[in-house]
Amino acid sequence: MLRTIIQFHIAAAKRTRYAKAAYYMCVMRDIYIYLQREDDFRHYFRGVIMENSRRPALRDEMSIVYGKEATGVKKQSGR
């Protein structure tokens, strides 16, 4: 359910809604940590960042979840 809520706020494409998505992402992170599945959350989080790599405002808001380093989008090399 939280994934749906996060996608709903991201789709609105407004900074205030990105902030709400980041809030729900924090809630999701806490749940995954409680369940001892933080690696699963990191995978999901990274996917959201990669899918939305052209939304710098979203990356700014999401940086509260894991920090600026985690929201940096790195280009994949074809090697």
Q: Give pLDDT tens digits for 7-61.
A: 999 999 898 999 999 999 999 999 999 999 999 999 999 999 999 989 999 998 8
Work out the angle at residue 58's Cα, subtended by the Cα atoms of residues 78 and 64, and round it to the nearest 5 degrees: 100
Quick one: pLDDT at residue 64? 80
Query: Cα-atom radius of gyration of the chain, to the nearest Å?
Result: 12
User: Which position has the token pair 């990274």?
Assistant: 46
pLDDT band at 71 (very low <50, low <70, confident <90, very high): low
Q: Is the pLDDT of residue 75 over 50?
A: no
Quick one: pLDDT at residue 77? 41
Compute how many other C-beta atoms are within 10 angstroms of the C-beta atom of residue 52: 19
Quick one: pLDDT at residue 79? 42
